[in-house]
A and B are shown apart, each in its own frame.
Chain A
Amino acid sequence: MTQLATREAAKARQDDVQRRGRRLGWVSLGLGVAQLAAPDTVRRISGVDDSPTTRAVVPLVGARELVHAAGLLTSRRKSVWAWTRVVGDAMDLASLGVAIAHRSGRRRRRLVAVTGAVVGITVVDLLTAVRATRAQKIGSAPTVRGSREGGPMELTATTTIRKPPPKVYAFWRDLGNLPTFMAHLEEIRTTGDRTSHWSASAPFGTNVEWDAEIVDEAPGEKIAWRSTGNADVPNAGTVRFVPAPDGLSTEVHVVLSYDIPGGAVGKAVAKYFGEEPHQQLDDDLRRLKQVLETGQVVRSDGAPWGKRARKEFPQRPAQPLSDSELAKGADA
């Protein structure tokens, strides 16, 4: 199925759930209003008008029904509210069971009839709740980004630099320049015409290294590379240098794909500690632009560490650094 078809099917399922949920909401509203407005009639029909406790219990059940109704009629999260109805049904069935055990004759017959009706409603509630829960799981699937799951992650980013393509290409092709603007890269050593050795820092102070080779290139237009051998973080990337419509700037389009160590868990933990890969690649390209257009990565008092800044917050206060902070550098 195409992604679009999947999404449409999910939407149809979601619409159905919303409709069913609302229907249950109206049922709750009707029951709640009846139990609150005419509790004695409800008690007589149910055959429990002989017990003074039910005078208190019936309006309470009515109030609970109104809560179900409010949730089902106003919230889109039908699954949660349908399940509250199932819980309510269980409570009702338990009370009815107790009531039946204590009665006989006409009252008992009425109670059994009411219990039958409640069992029927319970089945409907249960089906709706299960369906709503499933629709929610399926419905959300297409919106989950690949980065939540394990397996390779693909990142894309783009920027426009006010320098001609041959110049931007030449800067990137001299791979030793990459660590000046890419946050994680420590060093790239050229080992041959198309081969190189990369080292990068990973979360929690660890280090990863790998060999890479350029697999495709067109001077002034494109460079594609991938890691070789037994890399800790198998990765590949392509960068394209496209002339911008103004005739003097370059659009830089980057696609990176890599396997983050630790799979889905590793990614989640890294994210928790502020390492958001998409954001970082965007920031990497912003720094590339700064270096090419202005000569250096721009520093401020609040964010003085250039490419070493891993997180946007917390920052230093926007006041000048002391000599010792300046001496300690990014590790201060």
Chain B
Amino acid sequence: MRANTWAGRNKVKVRDVPDPKILNERDAIVRITSTAICGSDLHLLDGYVPTMQDGDVMGHEFMGEVIEVGPGVDPGRLRIGDRVVVPFPIACGACGACAAELYSCCENSNPNAGIAEKMFGHPVAGIFGYSHLTGGFAGGQAQYARVPFADVGPLKIESDLTDEQVLFLSDILPTGYMGAEMCDIQSTDVVAVWGAGPVGQFAMDSARALGAAKVIAIDKEPYRLQMAERAGHTPVNFEEVDVRSRLLELTGGRGPDKCIDAVGMESSHGSAHVHAYDRIKQAVRSETERPHALRQAILSCRSGGIVSVIGVYGGFLDKFPAGAWMNRALTLRTGQCHVQRYMKPLLQRIERGEIDPTRVITHTLPLDQAERGFEIFKNKQDNCEKVVLKP
């Protein structure tokens, strides 16, 4: 089959690889109909997530048709011919973490748990196409994928919604939603979201759906801010204005009640010297993150507020504003999304028309043009917000 693979730092390559096979009894094989490039794929592309290998099949946002099931898959849950969206964290459904609905921390789905444990203290779940640290599972930017624990994760789509309407249930819609949910939003809340990429856009939509009074979008790309503005959110361009002053102005001097970091480890900073400091430290690997967005979110948040982190971090960061965090009674909440927890309720919201996930799609390309997709998405060319690939 054809698959988009990692080929070293800053390089992906569509190659021919063997078709996937059933390896465990509860596996299924899915013929992929739609797949997408995620912002977190760029962290892999840029070489900031360790344990990638040449030839790793990328991609963790995909959906398609079940064409084969292992002998251990409960036929009451999944059958050949089912149309499914596959959640990016692989979860067994039986361990303590899964029982607590902490699916992205599944204790059984990562065959390389020993490696993850060294990096993170405790292991994390397996993830499709997302380095060997999270299991070394082949990803979904391909024609076919093997899906372990197929009777736990995949969500059956039985209505006639289009692929584009449901594809993002695999990651970015639940991730954005969880970012807002962790904010415990009240009707009086002003919510500021750092990053107006696809996850940031969905965090904004979710914050409004959960009842926020006002939602602020912080980014530097005019087209991304316009996209947020068209959806009814208030744009702040950090290259044009001082974010802190602008946020104080927008909140009557209180600061946003809730702040969401939808940027993560490769953020940029309006101030060149601060950016240079972290860029250099990151380049020489003496910190793995450039955490400007997180620092600014913590410093901006009103006292007693919540800072919710859904942007991806991989290792260690510098100059964490612990003083602001501690002395001003801030709550820091975070996590890789527990996608399985949100798929059904969000599908219902899509069916009811409360959320329109298709609004972030700017490009649809054939799988064979994945390299081009990565290039325009990474470099924000051609007003690129979200790339969907068709195998």
- Residues of chain A touching chain B, judged by Cβ–Cβ distance below 8 Å, are 160, 162, 246, 249, 279, 282-283, 286, 289-290, 293-296, 298-304, 306, 309, 312-323, 326
Contacts and interface: CB of A to CB of B under 8 A. Distances in A.
B53 A298 contact: no
A189 B323 CA distance: 61
Chain A contact surface mostly: loop
Contacts of B359: none
B42 to A, nearest CB: 18
B138 A249 contact: no
B26 A300 contact: no
Contact of B94 (A283, A294, A300, A316): A294
Contacts of A316: 136
B57 A319 contact: yes
Given A294-B94, A295-B26, A317-B55, A300 B21 contact: no
B99, B114, B136: most-surrounded residue (chain A CB, <10 A):
B136
Given A289-B95, A306-B111, A313-B115, 12 more contacts: A162-B94, A289-B107, A295-B26, A302-B112, A302-B132, A302-B135, A313-B132, A318-B53, A318-B57, A318-B137, A319-B57, A320-B17
B26 A294 contact: yes
Q: In which size bucket is the chain B interface?
A: 35 or more
A317 B109 contact: no
B109 A298 contact: yes
9 contacts: A289-B108, A294-B94, A294-B149, A298-B126, A298-B148, A302-B53, A304-B23, A306-B111, A321-B18
Contacts of B8: none
Nearest to A325: B18
Contact of A318 (B56, B96, B114): B56
Contacts of A312: 112, 114-115
A52 B270 CA distance: 61
A320 B145 CA distance: 9
Contact of B24 (A298, A313, A319): A298
B49 to A, nearest CB: 13
Contacts, number: 130
Contacts of B132: 302-303, 313, 315, 318
Interface string B87-100: 00000101110010
Contacts of B114: 279, 282-283, 286, 312
A286 B106 CA distance: 12
Interface string B138-160: 11000000101100000000000
Contacts of A314: 53
B318 interface: no
Contacts of B138: 300-301, 318-320
Interface in B23-62: 23-26, 51, 53-57
A302 B72 contact: no
Given A301-B137, A302-B112, A296 B53 contact: no
Contacts of B107: 289, 293
A301 B108 CA distance: 16
B25 A296 contact: yes
B5 A319 contact: yes
B249 interface: no
A176 B186 CA distance: 57
A183 B96 CA distance: 24
Nearest to B146: A320
B239 interface: no
Given A162-B95, A319-B5, A320-B19, A298 B57 contact: no
Given A162-B99, A300-B135, A319 B25 contact: no
A295 B21 CA distance: 19
A143 B114 CA distance: 23
Contacts of B55: 317-319
A160 B94 CA distance: 12
